[in-house]
Amino acid sequence: MRKRRAVLALVLGLALVLAACGDDEDGGNGGNAAAGDNQQGGAIEGGQEFRSVFIPKSTDNPVFTEANDGAEEAAEELGTEAASYEGPSSAEDLEAQIQIVTNAATQSLDGVMISNAGSEGIEPAVRQAADAEATVVSWDSPIPGGTEAGESLFVAQVDFDETGQVMADMALELMPDGGEFAILSATPDAANQNAWIASMEEVLQGDQYQDLELVETVYGNDDPNDSYNKALALIDQYPDLKLIMAPTTVGIAAAAQAMQDEDLCGDVLVSGLGLPAEMKEFTLNGCAPKFALWSFKDLGYLAYYVTYGIATGQVEAVEGEEFEAGRMGSYTIESDPTRDNALRIVMGPFTEYDESNIEEES
C-alpha cells in the first residue's frame, strides 16, 4: 500500500510539474485562448495573428488620417498586421460605410474598428460582422444599439457630457456679455455630434449661460465647401450673430476661413473642435481665438490595441475589466451612460488651444 501511494504521489508530482511548464509556455505567444486566460487584466501582449479593418467616417478628413497613423503605430508595436484603412470619401456616403462593414463580414477578419458616420443604419452590417466572429469596436462615434447590435466596446475620445460643457464654457468665455450664436455641425446622422450638441444644450440651461442664445444648428456635412457656405448663410440670416460653434474639425476650419474672407474676424468669432495645425492662422488673427480637441492619433492607437486585446482573448469585454494598452496606460471598461446595453472606455483628455499654446502645438 505504501509503495502504491509513493508511486501515485510521484505521478501526481510529475503531472503538476508538466502542467506548470505548460502554463509558462502558454504565457508567451502560444494559442490565443491560453494567452488570453493568462493575460486578462494586465498588459496586452503582441505576437498573435490579427487581421482587421480600420473604418473612418470619411477618408478625406485629416483627423481620421491621424487616427489611422495611431492604429498603424499600435500594430507595429504589437508585431501584428496593420489594419486595412477603408472608408467612404465623404461622410455623407452612409451606404458606402455600410458596404465596407458588410464586406468585412465575409473576409474572416478578426477585428472591425469603425467611426460610425450614421445612426442605426449601420447596425445590421455590424451584427453580421459580429456573427462572423469579428470583434467590432467603435471609436469616435458609437453604434447606437451597443452590444445588442454586435458592438463589443466603444472607445470614447472624451466623455460626451464633458464635450457639451467645454463648448458651453468656451462660448461663455468668448461672449461674456451674451448674444446670439449658432452651431455648425457635421451631418444630421452623426451620433457623436448629436450627443455633444444635446449635452451643450442641456448645459446652457444653467443660470450662468442665460444670456447665450442658440439661434440655429446647421449641417455642413463635414465637407469644406458646404461648411463654408453654411457659415456665410448664418451671418446673412442672423446679422447680430456673435459666434459660430463648430464641433467638427472640418466645420471650424471652414467657418474661420469664411469669416476671414469676409473680413469679420473679431466681429463673428469661431470656436469648437479643431486641429491645431489647421487653426493656427485663425487663432493668431482673432478669427478663432479659442478651441479644443484631443489626440486622434492616440484614439486610433487605443482603438487598435483594445480591439486586438479582445479578439485575442486578452481582454474580456465586460464591465469592470481592467487592462493596459501600451503607452496609453491603464483603462477600465465601464457601462456607457449615453446608451443602453453598451460598454465604453474613455480616453481623454481635452486640450484647449489659444494664442498662448497654439504655436507649440501646431
Is 10 within a domain?
A: no
Is 178 within a domain?
A: yes
In the block, cell 472606455 appears at 345
**Residue where a domain stops, chosen among 265, 293, 321:** 293
**Residue where a domain stops, chosen among 245, 274, 293:** 293
**pLDDT for residue 143:** 96
- Domain carrying residue 173: 160-293
Phi, psi of 319 (to 5 degrees): -60, 135
SS3 247: coil
**Residue where a domain stops, chosen among 276, 293, 310:** 293
DSSP state at residue 118? S
pLDDT tens track, the chain, 362 positions: 333 333 333 333 433 333 333 333 333 322 233 333 334 568 999 999 999 999 999 998 999 999 999 999 999 999 999 999 999 999 889 999 999 999 999 999 999 999 999 878 999 999 999 999 999 999 999 999 999 999 999 999 999 889 999 999 999 999 999 999 999 999 998 889 999 999 999 999 999 999 999 999 999 999 999 999 999 999 999 999 999 999 999 999 999 999 999 999 999 999 999 999 999 999 999 999 999 999 999 999 999 999 999 999 999 999 999 999 999 999 999 999 989 999 999 998 899 999 999 998 76
CB neighbour burial string for 217-227, b if at least 16 within 10 angstroms, e if fewer: bbbbbbbbebb
Identity of the amino acid at 245 = M
Other CB atoms within a 10 A radius of the CB of residue 237 amount to 12
